[in-house]
Amino acid sequence: MPILHTAARAARRAAEAARGLGRRRKYAWVPWWAPVRNEARVHPHSPEERPELFESYNAGTTEYELLNWLHATVMLLKPATVLETGAADGIGTLALASACRNNGFGTVHSVELDPERAAALGARLRSRKLDGFARVHCESSLDYLARTDTVFDVGFFDSMCEIRAAEFRLCLERGIIRKLAVFHDTSPLRTRTLDGWPTPDEHAAYRADVLALARDPRCTGWYESPLSRGFIAIFVAPDAGPGPATAAGSSARSTSAGKGMAPPDASLAVADATGDGGTDSDESR
């Protein structure tokens, strides 16, 4: 029986890998070992979040569409330094570091508290020959951001949701972020289908804190997508200096059309960010 069970599991994995071959072509940076699954099958959602339109590795990692957008954004903005808080399985780190490699320069600073995950991420970066474009910091993100002298062009905040706003606030107060800050798991419907964590109060506080920081005078605008697990992108003035973070942004910045509003029809927020991967310089899996 154990042999039959193992064989059946292997067959299921092989079938899943075969189904994912066509999808994988959309994401040239995805490693061969990472399956491409429909988001609706791996993570609980409300129907309004349209999870069937998205794909992911597992419930603990970011949707491939968002990572593909970040990959393209890094290739477009040409940042010298990228911040990632919370690495999990390292799929996001690979996306960001692959974009830096395509640019020919840039370093991703990935902060992961779990020693085992940090070690596994380092190994995966080396196996993909991306260790020259990423550094793994195994420590508290708040401790790291309180002491680092690195100024980040792009920040992807995907650690524990309770501290993501505090991470960004610390970056603003120390003047160590410019251009763009992206926050994952911001769907207003997220806690309808999640069991236990985060609680509705914790999630509401996370959203409120991030949106308040979006109105800081050093932030020039923001965009929210309510689809799938959701994300909020905040645009930071490149010359923003250090100082206490505040929610007292100008009314022009916080109410301008297109800067702080999700489309009235959530389906309009779907953008074709996948591309065909034909010009990506990453090696084939």
Domains of the chain with CATH codes = 64-267 (3.40.50.150)
> Structure pTM?
0.80
And the tokens for 176?
């160590």
- For range 95-109, the mean pLDDT: 98
Whether pLDDT at 283 is above 60: no
pLDDT at position 2: 62
Mapped onto helix, strand or coil, the DSSP state of residue 177 is strand
CB 60, CB 88: distance < 8 Å: yes
Give me the chain's average pLDDT, please.
84
- For range 168-187, the mean pLDDT: 97
Per the DSSP assignment, residues forming a β-bridge with 181 are: 155, 234
pLDDT at position 99: 98
pLDDT: which is higher, 270 or 159: 159
CB 80, CB 106: distance < 8 Å: yes
Q: How confident is the model at residue 67 (pLDDT cuts 50, 70, 90)?
A: very high
In angstroms, the CA 206 to CA 47 distance is: 22
Whether pLDDT at 284 is above 60: no
Q: How confident is the model at residue 248 (pLDDT cuts 50, 70, 90)?
A: very low
In angstroms, the CA 92 to CA 90 distance is: 5
CB 230, CB 190: distance < 8 Å: yes
Phi and psi dihedrals of 16, rounded to 5? -65, -40
CB 213, CB 165: distance < 8 Å: yes
pLDDT at position 213: 97
pLDDT at position 280: 38
